[in-house]
Amino acid sequence: MPIDRVLDEVACPGCGRRHPLRVDGPMLESGLLTQCLVCGLDRFYTQKDFNKKLGIGLFAAAALLSVPTWGLSLLGATILDYGLSKTLGDVTICYRCLVQYRGFRPGPGHGPFDLHVAEAIGNEPYAV
């Protein structure tokens, strides 16, 4: 899909590097994410919108507390994880540049992370 226009640049909050935003008209009108606004790739995956480090920390703390609580802390962490997975929304992530999108409708081809796709895209030449 050709890019209709390049909007203003946006700075990455992590590294501070500036990137132009590439937007096509139909994507703005429909709210359907069809290509990355930063790199232009059309391959995305979805995952729950939750901080991975916090999730690992919760289960690590539950594992440490499992002996004195007779495993009830692990049960509690599992119930909390299940509840969060049902209530939290999804975030769509670009395979190439790992930009996270919220507020767009994911496309029909956006599914869970696929290592084969990630490796294939990682071997492609890339220039922003």
Q: Is the pLDDT of residue 3 over 60?
A: no
74 token code pair: 């692990």
Cα separation, 39 vs 127, in Å, equals 8
Residue 75, pLDDT above cutoff 90: yes
- CB 36: neighbour CB atoms within 10 A? 22
Residues 82-124: tens digit of each pLDDT: 999 899 988 999 998 888 888 887 778 889 999 999 999 877 7
* Mean pLDDT calculated for residue range 35-59: 89
Query: Does the pLDDT of residue 79 top 90, yes or no?
Result: yes
Cα distances (Å, whole numbers) of residue 54 to 36, 51, 58, 88, 109: 27, 5, 6, 14, 29
Each residue of 17-46: pLDDT tens digit?
776 766 666 666 777 888 888 888 889 999
pLDDT of residue 33: 84
pLDDT at 1: 41
**Domain boundary assignment for the chain:** 51-88
- Tell me, what's the pLDDT at 2? 42
Alpha helices in 15-114 (DSSP H): 25-30, 52-64, 72-87
Specify burial of residue 35 (Cβ count, 10 A radius: 0-12, 13-18, 19+).
buried
Residues 14, 44, 105, 85, CA torsion sign: negative
Q: Tell me what the mean pLDDT of segment 60-68 comes to.
A: 93
Q: Which residue has the tokens 């690992």?
A: 56
